[in-house]
Structure 1
C-alpha cells in the first residue's frame, strides 16, 4: 500500500463531499417544495433564494474531497 493511500484527510467528517452534497440537495428540494405550495406567500417569496443557495452550495461542495 502506498503512502498516499494510508494518508488520512485533514477535513472534518461533516465537511466531506458525500454528506454535504446530500444537504445541498435537500436544500434545493425544500426550495422546490416552497415554490409549489399554495398556502403561504412568504414561503413562495423565498423559494428561489433557497434553491439558489442550495445550488451554489452544491457547486462549492462538489470540489471538496471525498
Structure 2
C-alpha cells in the first residue's frame, strides 16, 4: 500500500465532491424553475445567471477529491 493511500484527506467534509455536486445540481434546477415560471419577470431575468453559476460550480467541484 502506498503512502498516499494510507494518508487521510485534508479536505473538509463539507467541501467533498459528493455533497457539493448535489448543491451545484440543485442550483441548476432552481435556475430552470426560474426560467419556466410565468409569474415574476425578475426571476426569469436572473435564471440564466443562476444556471451559469451552477454549471461553473459543477465543473469546478467535479475536480475535488471524493
Q: TM class, shorter-chain normalised?
A: over 0.9
Normalised to the residue count of structure 1, the TM-score between the two structures is: 0.93
How far off its partner does 1:4 sit?
A: 3.0
d(CA) in 1 for partners of 2:29, 2:39: 17
d(CA) in 1 for partners of 2:11, 2:55: 22
1:14-64: CA deviations, max 9, x gaps? Answer: 000000000000000000000000000000000000000000000000000
d(CA) in 2 for partners of 1:31, 1:20: 17
How far off its partner does 1:7 sit?
A: 1.5
Runs (4+) off by over 6 Å: none
Q: Which runs of 5+ in 1 are unaligned?
A: none
Aligned length: 66
d(CA) in 2 for partners of 1:58, 1:20: 8
d(CA) in 1 for partners of 2:13, 2:43: 32
Root mean square deviation, CA, Å: 1.0
